[in-house]
A and B are shown apart, each in its own frame.
Chain A
Amino acid sequence: MEQAALISEQLALLTPLVLLLVAILLILGAQVLRRQRLRQLSLRRIPAYRAMPIGVGEAVESERPIHVSFGSSGLGAEATVSALAVADMLYPLAERAAISDQPPIVSLSDPTALPLAQGTLRRAYEMRQNMDAYRSTAARWYPQGPRSLAFAAGVAGALADEDASMSVIGGRFGPELAFIGETATRYDQLFFAQSDQLDGQAVAWVMAERPLIGEELYVAGAYLPARPSALHLSQVLTMEIMRVLAIVGILFFAVFALAQRMLMDVNFLLTVIGGVLLVAAVGMAVVFAIRQLRGRGRA
């Protein structure tokens, strides 16, 4: 027990090092991008971010509102960063929608996200110089109740009543996300969803036409604006580098643990070799079968 506490304390000391590494990568990346004017990087394709601006355009043309939800993300708790990420996504969408008389509907269940949502909307309307159309009540707090179900049901009702054209859900959601998704499907609304909770993410993947998976929420600032800032692009690069480091680290420790065990146990070594050969044989058979099927299709 004491050893576990010691390891936990030592790992906690790694936190500032990781943060420092991320900060250095972000600053270096942004400087390189600024100097070399490489702002038009070819980013990995995320279908949801391609479809969102088109959806906003359709909403403006049909004079229907768009809906963006923060879920139970709020400031000052664990979900602070996801709340900021949703605000990053809301800003470019609201900026496009601000030319219309229909303000976006922003729903949230953590009241600390209310000033963030209102501030983001206000900035977007100021940017478009259309403050006459801005309403502070466009950002709405729905009390979440013990399991957020009342919140989701309330938002679903509002989406149906106000005939929203598109719904973008991000941040902290559980399976209650299904209520909003079901309403979006029933009323023929575009539906994009993501959650930083596993159960919510699973429901989002099933229900959304173009789901956002995991960390894709955090890069909205690099994908949605017409001219993203160098720092947002640098964040995408930093995330890719950190991802590669994490994968290499996991593989290294897995191979190390496997090698250690194989050296101690010959039977285990033979089982691993047999397993690898079996997986390779099945893989080759699948590839061969797919090629045969494709060949027949072409013929």
Chain B
Amino acid sequence: MRRVLAILSSSIVIGLGLTTLWGLLPGSPLSDFAAVMIRLAVIVGAVAVLIGVLNLLGVHLRRVLEGEPGWPYSIALLFAALAVLLIAAVEGLGLVQGTALSGFLFNAVQVSVESALSALLVFFLVYAAARLLRHRITWSGLLFVVILLVVLVGWLQVPALGGFNALSEWIRTVPASAGARGLLIGVALGATAAGVRVLLGQDPSYRE
């Protein structure tokens, strides 16, 4: 029975996948069908957020009940989540007129916290670059640090460093751009091969 269900679900998934792919091609008669399928995926995504919220609450509730390390933070998270849900529900039902407290809370807390984290990120990255040479002295590591210095110095708008400016510009537009394109082509090839493998329906996950 389980095997029959696996074959049936695989057939539905692969059939719909191939049909949607066909519908996405220019001038395809199945374009309306593809649009419906994509809209369906968006709806499933929205439902998934609800599942995600339940998962988040479940994980932190378990942490509190089992007294795992950092459980006080989980209590704070649970209270904050429930409070914001309550506020959003009150606003959504129109019980309070003329206020957007959930939006204000988001901007006051989440955006501020993320801005602070952005600022911290710079120091983390500089420290990581410095540590790279301490732990891993390789030719590629040396090249990385030299180019980093050239590019940083090249950004200084000092007339005496005109040569560095030109070199920095050349590094960014020629070798760095070529390397980036190479990486992206590699990722695209990998994604194409893996995607087609999944669409072929012979993936081990389909059989279990």
Which A residues have a C-beta under 8 Å from some C-beta of B? 9, 12-13, 15-16, 18-19, 22-23, 26-27, 30, 74-77, 80-82, 84-85, 87-88, 91, 110-112, 114-115, 119-120, 123, 126-127, 137, 139-143, 145-147, 149-150, 152-153, 157-158, 161-163, 175-176, 178-179, 181-182, 185, 196, 198, 201, 203, 206-207, 213-219, 229, 231-232, 235, 238-239, 242-243, 246
Contacts and interface: CB of A to CB of B under 8 A. Distances in A.
A9 B26 CA distance: 7
Interface string B53-88: 101101100100000111001000000000000000
Contacts, number: 184
Nearest to A8: B26
A123 B207 CA distance: 11
Contacts of A140: 55-56, 59
Interface in B1-35: 21-22, 25-26
A92 to B, nearest CB: 11
25 contacts: A12-B25, A15-B25, A19-B196, A23-B196, A26-B197, A74-B45, A76-B41, A80-B195, A81-B194, A81-B195, A84-B194, A85-B190, A87-B205, A88-B194, A137-B59, A137-B62, A141-B52, A149-B117, A153-B117, A158-B70, A161-B70, A162-B68, A206-B128, A218-B193, A235-B197
B7 to A, nearest CB: 17
A238 B200 contact: no
Interface of B: 21-22, 25-26, 41-42, 44-45, 48-49, 51-53, 55-56, 58-59, 62, 68-70, 73, 110-111, 113-114, 117-118, 121, 124-125, 127-129, 131-132, 144, 180, 183-187, 189-200, 202-205, 208
B208 A215 contact: no
Q: Which of A91, A161, A213 has the most chain B CB within a 10 Å cutoff?
A: A161
A161 to B, nearest CB: 4
A266 to B, nearest CB: 24
Nearest to A15: B25
A82 B183 contact: no
Contacts of A81: 191, 194-195, 198
Contacts of A152: 117
A153 B116 CA distance: 11
Main secondary structure of the interface of B (DSSP, over half): helix
A206 to B, nearest CB: 5
B111 A146 contact: yes
B207 to A, nearest CB: 10
B186 A26 contact: no
Given A137-B59, A179-B124, A143 B194 contact: no
A243 B189 contact: yes
Nearest to B111: A146
Nearest to B196: A22
Given A26-B197, A149-B117, A206-B132, A161 B69 contact: yes
A179 B117 contact: yes
Q: Which of B25, B127, B197, B205 has the most chain A CB within a 10 Å cutoff?
A: B197
B196 A26 contact: yes
A198 B180 CA distance: 7
